[in-house]
C-alpha cells in the first residue's frame, strides 16, 4: 500500500496549486483531454479498482462497479455536453 508522508503530500499539493494557477485547466480542450484520459485509465484498470475496493472496503463487485466503474457513463455524458456548458 502506498503511503504518502506529510511532506510528500504537501509537495504534491503545492505542485497542483501551482499548475491550477497557470490557468491551463480553464481551457476546454484541456478538460476534454483529461476526461478522456480518466476514462481510459478507469477502463484499463477496472479489475484492479474492483479488487482494491473489495480488499480495502469489503465492497461487493457489483456494488463497486455500480458506484465506481459506471462513472465512465458520466464522463461520456460530460464529453457530449461540455462545449455547450462552457459557452459564455
Residue 73 lies in a domain: yes
pTM of the shown model: 0.73
Residue 4 lies in a domain: no
Q: Which residue is it, cell 476534454?
A: 32
Residue 70 lies in a domain: yes
35-73 residue pLDDT tens: 999 999 999 999 999 999 999 999 999 999 999 999 999
Residue 22 lies in a domain: no
Counting the structural domains of the chain, the total is 1
Residue 46 domain boundaries: 27-85
Helix axes 46-57 and 28-44, enclosed angle (nearest 10): 70
Residue 2 lies in a domain: no
pLDDT at 35: 97
Residue 39 lies in a domain: yes
Residue 21 lies in a domain: no
pLDDT at 1: 44
Amino acid at each position: 500500500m502506498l503511503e504518502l508522508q506529510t511532506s510528500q503530500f504537501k509537495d504534491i499539493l503545492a505542485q497542483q496549486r501551482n499548475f491550477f494557477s497557470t490557468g491551463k485547466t480553464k481551457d476546454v480542450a484541456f478538460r476534454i483531454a483529461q476526461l478522456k484520459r480518466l476514462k481510459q485509465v478507469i477502463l484499463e484498470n477496472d479489475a484492479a479498482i474492483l479488487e482494491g475496493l473489495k480488499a480495502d472496503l469489503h465492497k461487493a463487485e457489483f456494488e463497486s462497479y455500480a458506484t465506481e466503474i459506471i462513472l465512465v457513463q458520466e464522463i461520456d455524458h460530460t464529453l457530449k455536453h461540455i462545449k455547450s456548458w462552457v459557452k459564455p
